[in-house]
Structure 1
């Protein structure tokens, strides 16, 4: 027993080290991504500044040309109408020179050129005015003779030479800043991908240790009945560990996912876009793994409790067909889900989770043919059968397919697919709902899973197809954001701002109450973390803010710990819970549906 305890202790220390190292790497990636965004924004501002200087130089040039054109026309005709371009150029020139002086005040070299330019412009204006005076007082011959002396041409050439030199200097600065921006993005994104890969590898090492430990425990249970109590305690300890580890990893992973989405919305080069897409794939894989681990821990800890009601299978199966049809078509498989009017008594959300895992497994392990899902009545029961024409399961592995991390292998050379947790979740949920599950399979001919559900006395009409309402995506809203962790709060605020919304952020419920009172109108949406490390949690804060405004403000609760948040928020209307790490596109679409008045 002491040797076993020592082994478990070593197991816990190694995994704790892996989790801490992964969290630190993700925090570094988050920090670097923030620096990259700020640097990109600063460089973009400098580039815009250079463009403004060039536009100001062009405006000065245009005004001088208008003055030249107007003076020549008046000298030749003597008509006041030809002075309009001259007067327009004079009217705009002083303001344009002031704007130019303001724009290049931080550039000593350009400021020196501007002083010379101002002297030349003043000299040329005096020459133009002198020509007009000669035309008005002496006559056209005197004015033309003054022009023919060539002093004005020389001055104007010097003016345009100065303008061209200054514009070329700004163009050179602009090109250098663009190169700096590109180099910075390439460098930072390569570092981010490298660190993200290292974090994934550390997490996979932890999972391999988990797999080896679970295998050893299963063997010990079969061999020694007297160790059951010790193994049960170890499993409960591991569940608590996985839950805590998932929560700790969710926070930086959530921030990184939002920053990744914000970066993906920028104007980036093709290589950088490829890096961002690869980073998103890694984040999605890590998010799916953490969610699977947390689901197992929640089921085993008893947090998930079934809510039995009458479930119309036709509606449920129709929605599953919509969900999985694109995946089946992507592998050129037929997905056959037969309509039914049967009803059953069970928890609809948990039943959906079971069927989703079965369909996902069937598609994953079927290379050709079809997947079918059908319901049939057998006395007081409804049998739901999910069949495929896939690779099948060897007979010696049928008893192990519901174990954590176990994956059916037909040969040593096969690549690993998924994480081996889907059927483990199915097994736990069917036990929780008291649903008998059966499986039959033949290698190379496919597999069939059956669920025996309690039938309900239910009369159904054929399911109607619901056409989703597509929001206009035109409204931008006022969003109050509350999160006590600065890095997560900044990342969330940056993503929402880049999505076009006005965001005001608060670090505590007290600060949120002060911020909301400064608005003349109520916010359109409240986005709050659930665990605020304060006297109020996110749900309680939302209720207090609604009472303050006497208005049911739509709300979004973000949480990295689903152990308490779901039951607490289930009774709140106009409130949806997103578990971290949040899918950025889903969060953005949900907020826009709220703003467009579309039911969520």
Structure 2
């Protein structure tokens, strides 16, 4: 009996020890869980504080933008109603600065940045007040002259740069705190799991939990594998996506470009003309970015075909001088394009794209001095050189400058310029044309890019580019326009009509055939979209219309899908392909050239 009692007592002691050990382990687990909750709560409070700071920074930026907007409206119209946003923004500035000062008072580094920001805000406020004063007292010309000196832009850039630095620092602090929280949570997690496993071994009550956790981990691994597979497919489909999206990206830009061109030809007031010109600049900028992204896709996909011929450099260099002189003057740079009578053998369009990107890059990264473009012949090679006196390229970045989206940044505070695509396109096109490209640079002194071109057998005479005729000067014609998208069709028809032509529009191939059958005379030119969402595309429709009229009607294909249209239309005679967004002047010039040729 005593043995049994001893056994029971031993069992009880072991059981009690197991229970005590389990309770201790559970208590430690609960304590650590509580610590983790406190850490999460503290991090959440810090995150809320960071968010408050960023919202205050955004509010300060919004107030400054309101003041800019109000000043701009008052300058343009002289009406006091436009001063309401200006006064609202000005009334908020002091309170917002005080709120920021309170929020970041615990961070000496941020407080120093705020002290640097305050005189900049005061200076910008004084500049805006001065512009309003000049507009009120001396008129719009005096105010605009004051603004065009550029002091306000420089000050505003400094303000926004400081605001961005403050916001970036708050973001960095938030990331650092979350990383600390994550490390603590991960450490506590592993310890808690270990203690739970020990408790399970002691009480034999945690087997189900362990099994469920293992199953959950297996499911997480499976989901991770699926995500990785999805990402791999997404990466592989990048080029396909760009190609498929090109049509939808180009369509609204195409409509905007033609509507802008139609509007610019009207008799408008000076402010309206300025707005139309600014609108054109924005459309051109959007078109440039879309074209650059899609050009990369086209090159990678092998769509771009080279057309090698003898090219005179004189016309190219002259057009570069005209194109980039305004940009150089705006940055107070000297653009020196040395004339040359040399000729090279290459694709003229792609060569122009290469040199345009090099010159644009040189102007963008040159703060003072000059940009020089020159060509010299050495035997069978013509060296085309683009040099600048800009910031130069650090040696450790020379091998990366031709990568997509890579930008040269010497300092951490240096602002981002452009999109980092120009040199990537240059690299692809030089490889496509088999043109050796070299680069030499000295930090702080400048950079020189050199292209080694095959010299033509003989020099060529430069053919001056045609001058675009104003509407109504050259011969107008009968134009059949086919496009399945109403907005694009209406914009194109409006532009062609205002350019002086008789336009009949069709929304489908069937409607186009019906119009031509009922038309007493054949159309002089067919302008058709390529992708008509019908059983036939634009190229096939042109061939049907020609067969219907038994004549080779000159045709123009407009398309946003360069992957399909270029090879399909290459075999069609008297057919020109324009990729959307179309340059309105180039389209008008080509149509009038076709009409003048038909008349002759």
- TM-score, normalization: structure 1? 0.55
CA–CA distance in structure 1, aligned partners of residues 340 and 271 of structure 2: 50
Partner of 1:237: 237
Q: How do residues 387-536 of structure 1 correspond to structure 2 at under 5 angstroms?
A: 387-456=387-456, 458-460=457-459, 463-464=461-462, 466=464, 468-469=466-467, 471=469, 473-474=471-472, 475-536=475-536
- How many residue pairs get aligned? The number is 369
CA–CA distance in structure 2, aligned partners of residues 481 and 294 of structure 1: 26
CA–CA distance in structure 2, aligned partners of residues 418 and 466 of structure 1: 32
Residues 530 and 559 in structure 2, CA contact (< 8 A), matched pair in contact too: yes
Residues 380 and 454 in structure 1, CA contact (< 8 A), matched pair in contact too: yes
In structure 2, relative to structure 1, the CA distance for the partners of 1:280 and 1:379 (3 Å cut) is: closer
Gaps of 5+ in 2: 1-228
Q: How do residues 272-421 of structure 1 correspond to structure 2 at under 5 angstroms?
A: 276-378=276-378, 380-421=380-421
Distance apart, 1:297 and its partner CA: 0.3
In structure 2, relative to structure 1, the CA distance for the partners of 1:464 and 1:254 (3 Å cut) is: closer
CA–CA distance in structure 1, aligned partners of residues 427 and 315 of structure 2: 24
CA–CA distance in structure 2, aligned partners of residues 315 and 275 of structure 1: 32
In structure 2, relative to structure 1, the CA distance for the partners of 1:553 and 1:471 (3 Å cut) is: farther
Question: What secondary structure sits across from 1:355 in the alignment?
Answer: helix
In structure 2, relative to structure 1, the CA distance for the partners of 1:367 and 1:547 (3 Å cut) is: farther
Question: What secondary structure sits across from 1:576 in the alignment?
Answer: strand
Partner of 2:255: 255
List per-residue Cα deviations over 1:30-79 (Å, max 9, x = no partner): xxxxxxxxxxxxxxxxxxxxxxxxxxxxxxxxxxxxxxxxxxxxxxxxxx
CA–CA distance in structure 2, aligned partners of residues 454 and 271 of structure 1: 49
Gaps of 5+ in 1: 1-228
Partner of 1:16: none
Distance apart, 1:314 and its partner CA: 4.5
CA–CA distance in structure 1, aligned partners of residues 529 and 263 of structure 2: 23
CA–CA distance in structure 1, aligned partners of residues 233 and 430 of structure 2: 23
Residues 312 and 462 in structure 2, CA contact (< 8 A), matched pair in contact too: no
Q: Does 1:562 align with 2:562?
A: yes
Residues 473 and 596 in structure 1, CA contact (< 8 A), matched pair in contact too: no
Q: How do residues 78-117 of structure 1 correspond to structure 2 at under 5 angstroms?
A: none
CA–CA distance in structure 2, aligned partners of residues 407 and 327 of structure 1: 20
Residues 473 and 592 in structure 1, CA contact (< 8 A), matched pair in contact too: no
Distance apart, 1:472 and its partner CA: 6.0
List per-residue Cα deviations over 1:309-332 (Å, max 9, x = no partner): 444444544444444445445545
Distance apart, 1:559 and its partner CA: 0.3
Residues 482 and 512 in structure 2, CA contact (< 8 A), matched pair in contact too: yes
List per-residue Cα deviations over 1:447-506 (Å, max 9, x = no partner): 1011223445x1225x44637455363244322110122232223223333444322111
Residues 392 and 446 in structure 1, CA contact (< 8 A), matched pair in contact too: yes
Question: What secondary structure sits across from 2:366 in the alignment?
Answer: coil
Residues 314 and 462 in structure 2, CA contact (< 8 A), matched pair in contact too: no
CA–CA distance in structure 2, aligned partners of residues 583 and 477 of structure 1: 20
Residues 341 and 459 in structure 1, CA contact (< 8 A), matched pair in contact too: no
CA–CA distance in structure 2, aligned partners of residues 265 and 312 of structure 1: 34
Partner of 1:189: none
Distance apart, 1:284 and its partner CA: 2.3
Distance apart, 1:429 and its partner CA: 1.3
Partner of 2:118: none
Q: How do residues 121-140 of structure 1 correspond to structure 2 at under 5 angstroms?
A: none
CA–CA distance in structure 1, aligned partners of residues 454 and 266 of structure 2: 52
CA–CA distance in structure 2, aligned partners of residues 273 and 312 of structure 1: 37
CA–CA distance in structure 2, aligned partners of residues 460 and 269 of structure 1: 48
In structure 2, relative to structure 1, the CA distance for the partners of 1:281 and 1:539 (3 Å cut) is: same
Partner of 1:216: none
Distance apart, 1:400 and its partner CA: 1.9
CA–CA distance in structure 2, aligned partners of residues 327 and 505 of structure 1: 40
List per-residue Cα deviations over 1:159-203 (Å, max 9, x = no partner): xxxxxxxxxxxxxxxxxxxxxxxxxxxxxxxxxxxxxxxxxxxxx
Partner of 2:541: 541
Distance apart, 1:292 and its partner CA: 0.5
Residues 401 and 407 in structure 1, CA contact (< 8 A), matched pair in contact too: yes
CA–CA distance in structure 1, aligned partners of residues 231 and 266 of structure 2: 51
In structure 2, relative to structure 1, the CA distance for the partners of 1:598 and 1:315 (3 Å cut) is: farther
